[in-house]
Amino acid sequence: MSEASRELTAYHEAGHAVIALVLGRPIHRVTILADKDQLGSCAFGKPVFRPSEDWLEREALIALAGLAAEARFSGVYELQGAARDRRYVSTLALQRTGDERKAERLERRLLAKTENLLAQEENWSAVERIAAELLRVGTLSGRAARHLFTEACRQS
């Protein structure tokens, strides 16, 4: 993998991790070490459901966070690279709306919401810290990712 591709992957996976942590979803592991199917991955712990929570929205925001973080870093939406995430969000949106046009509008709103979350100073700082550490070591435990996230939030 080229250095540019590695860097984009680090931001993509860091985006997933940060938005998951913002929304209270535990992280098990984040990696930019490629396997036969993916350039990197963010593995989540078991979600904690709250009665008032919109689990579908949370899952969609987390899925879109990789695409949004990568685009914020590079200035380009790499739609092909995020195809799996986009398919998942499309499935969730269609499940929610029952109509393709409404689902597309919902996807656009969810992407805008994800971009707004990432634009918050402490969240973007956490993405940058996690991405930098992924580039340095390749894989982070959920505990390490949470530590970097907490540090970024404290310093903002």
What pLDDT digit, counting tens, does each position of 52-101 carry?
679 999 999 999 999 999 999 999 998 888 999 999 999 999 999 999 99
Q: If you classify domain 3-151 with CATH, what class do you get? A: mainly alpha
Per-residue confidence (pLDDT) for residue 52, from 0 to 100: 67
pLDDT of residue 155: 87
103-139 confidence digits (pLDDT tens): 999 999 999 999 999 999 999 999 999 999 999 999 9
pLDDT band of 2, cuts 50, 70, 90: confident
Q: Which amino acid is at 76?
A: V
What contacts 19, CB < 8 A, 6 or more positions away?
A: 61, 62, 65, 114, 117, 118, 123
Please give the backbone phi and psi of residue 44, each rounded to the nearest 5 degrees, phi first. Answer: -100, 155
| Rounded-to-integer distance, Cα 68 and Cα 138, Å | 21
Give every CB contact of residue 147 below 8 A, 6+ residues apart in sequence.
none
Q: Given this model, what pLDDT does residue 4 score?
A: 87
- Find out whether 118 and 15 touch, Cβ atoms under 8 Å: yes
The answer to whether the beta carbons of residues 142 and 42 sit under 8 Å apart is: no
Cα–Cα distance between 127 and 17 in angstroms, integer? 8
Residues 8-38 have pLDDT tens digits of 999 999 999 999 999 999 999 999 998 878 8
The pLDDT, as a whole number, for residue 134 is: 96
What's the whole-model pTM score?
0.93
**Per-residue pLDDT at 81:** 82
* CA atoms 105, 107, 108, 112: torsion sign: positive
Q: Where are the alpha helices (DSSP H) in 34-120?
A: 55-74, 83-97, 100-119
What are the boundaries of each domain within the chain? 3-151
The predicted structure's pLDDT at residue 80: 86
Token pair 């930019």 in the structure block, residue: 32
Q: Quick one: pLDDT at residue 51?
A: 66
Helix axes 3-22, 142-155, angle to 10 degrees: 80
pLDDT score recorded for residue 64: 97
> So what's the pLDDT on residue 148?
97
